[in-house]
Structure 1
Amino acid sequence: MRQLIRFGWQQSLSCIFPVVIFASLALTKLTPLPWLPRYDWLLIICLAAQIAMVGSGLETRDELKVITVFHLIGLALEQFKVHAGSWSYPEEGWSKLNGVPLYSGFMYASVASYLCQAWRRLRVELSGWPPLGLVAPLAACIYLNFFTHHYWADLRWWLSASVIVVFWRTWVHYEVGRARYRMPLAFSFVLIGFFIWIAENVATFFQAWEYPNQADHWRLVDLGKVSSWHLLVIVSFLIVASLKQHKKRHPATEENSVPFT
């Protein structure tokens, strides 16, 4: 029980950025702020939170680079999905680009922030990591499927099966207190995807975005979305893990920070 509490505490600290986003969604929904539309306030809050985390040492500059990449990847996906009718952002905002508010990229960046934070706090190590020649094409195919399934077959289940095959021997090793534990990497993908689905329900409840079946009133997000988040987490993890593996081989380029523990 003590170890479980320690693990939960480290996980909570790793979720500071997502918590800021959810808190700001609730705040701006329950208490409308003056002068600017809600989406613009959300962008300002996310930018301030990002600056504060780097300035306080909660995130390193290297981690900021990774998070920025995810922000851009997320915005590209949002642009496509909104215009495909998958979901919408019905409120007004000065910071909307082709119907997509810029703050939305931070929701993807928050996943990368969590992964970077948890990696460092839990001293994560990987064993049985497959070669980059398998990892990079798999990550690219998963990301492209988010676009191509609108025009061609949806390959998510084939891709999920490919993940199991490629990472069959890969284990995540992590530290809680002074004890080391491990779990299969594929299982960790499912767990993170499920918890992000829970977070998605919270986000849509506070109208961060809106699915077509939520236009009249809020409904629980389809459980099938877990598979989408599962695949998105895989892309996120593969990018972060590949960069961490590179840093491990080139430690001189690593930037350190002093996290709150």
Structure 2
Amino acid sequence: MNSGESQQPKNLTSVERFLDRTANRWLASRGDRGLRSGLLEFLVFGLKQAWACLFGALMLIAIIAARLWWPDDATLARNDALVIVAVGIQVLMLVTRLETGRELWVIMLFHITGTIMELFKTGVGSWLYDPDGVLRIAGVPLFTGFMYAAVGSYMVRVYRLMDLRFDRYPRLWLTAILALAAYANFFTHHFVWDARWLIVLAVVVTYWPTWMHFRVYRRTFKMPILVAFGLVATFIWFAENIATWAGAWAYPDQVDGWEPVSIMKLVSWFLLMLISVVLVTVVYPPRGIARQN
């Protein structure tokens, strides 16, 4: 059995290499068998997931803080303050080498695709933002693109941190077609038949054989990639509930008072996961599992 340090995932940033070595040494000092070892490894898994979510977590904290403590009569509008904070977080992630320059441009793709969708969706009344602030395009504050970028940041970072590999991954051209169909449907369903359930079915059929393998320490675990889609979509849905409660935006049924986001939004986030995964494969092509000789 190789040591945890020798199994360190590739492509980590300098900060992540230090954190990974520290976690591996901590686990190695406690053995690799028994319930206690399993619980400790699960804890490290949770910490790595939280670390991958850093961008999104900081954005959510900023949104909540703006709701609780930002004065309504402040010279700098709340939405503009969130834009400045979002830019600051992105710069911090790069300066501290928590994200690589190679990843930045794919995160910007998340930003651009998200902002385009925001402009359309607010235009047709799917949701709305407070009208304050000047750092906006039409009715969309510029911080909104960073919320999509936060999803991209998580995706590219978890790929590295968990040393993700895949068994029976679909053809990339097929996943790209599905992602384009899902993205287009976010727009076209306002005018023609809503094909989201057909696309969901196509995604399930396409990804059904695919298993995702991830390493926490010495052991490699696996799960169906569709389960991973569903788990991350659920997590985003919970974060969306917090963000709408904090007034970052509002759906039409929340204008007269906050209420939980419809559970049906999980379908939208599931399809967003498809789009996100396809964008990430531009930077990190899916790797197959290592076969033992």
- In structure 2, what is the Cα distance between the partners aligned to 1:158 and 1:4? 36
Query: Counterpart of 1:154 in 2: which secondary structure?
Result: coil
Partner of 1:21 in structure 2? 59
> Over residues 215-248 of structure 1, what are the superposed CA-to-partner deviations in whole Å (9 max), with x where a residue is unaligned?
11110000000111111111101211243118x7
Instruction: Report matched runs for 1:33-182 at 5 Å.
Output: 34-182=74-222
1:7 aligns with 2:54: no
1:186 aligns with 2:247: no
Question: Structure 1 runs of 4+ off > 2 angstroms?
Answer: none
Aligned partner of 2:139: which letter? Answer: G
Question: Which one has a bigger Cα radius of gyration?
Answer: 2
- In structure 2, what is the Cα distance between the partners aligned to 1:152 and 1:139? 19
Deviation at 1:96, TM superposition (A): 1.5
Unaligned runs of 5+ in 2: 1-38, 289-293
- In structure 1, what is the Cα distance between the partners aligned to 2:136 and 2:91? 21
Unaligned runs of 5+ in 1: 250-261
Deviation at 1:88, TM superposition (A): 0.2
> Over residues 76-135 of structure 1, what are the superposed CA-to-partner deviations in whole Å (9 max), with x where a residue is unaligned?
000000011000002311011110001100001100101111111111112211222211
How many matched pairs?
248
TM, length-normalised to structure 1: 0.92
Query: Counterpart of 2:284 in 1: which secondary structure?
Result: helix
Aligned partner of 1:170: which letter? Answer: T
Query: Counterpart of 1:119 in 2: which secondary structure?
Result: helix
Percent sequence identity over matched residues?
38
TM, length-normalised to structure 2: 0.82
Of 266, 277, 292, 1:226 maps to 266
Query: Counterpart of 1:73 in 2: which secondary structure?
Result: helix
Partner of 2:17 in structure 1? none
- In structure 1, what is the Cα distance between the partners aligned to 2:93 and 2:144? 19
Task: Note the aligned Cα RMSD (angstroms).
Answer: 1.4
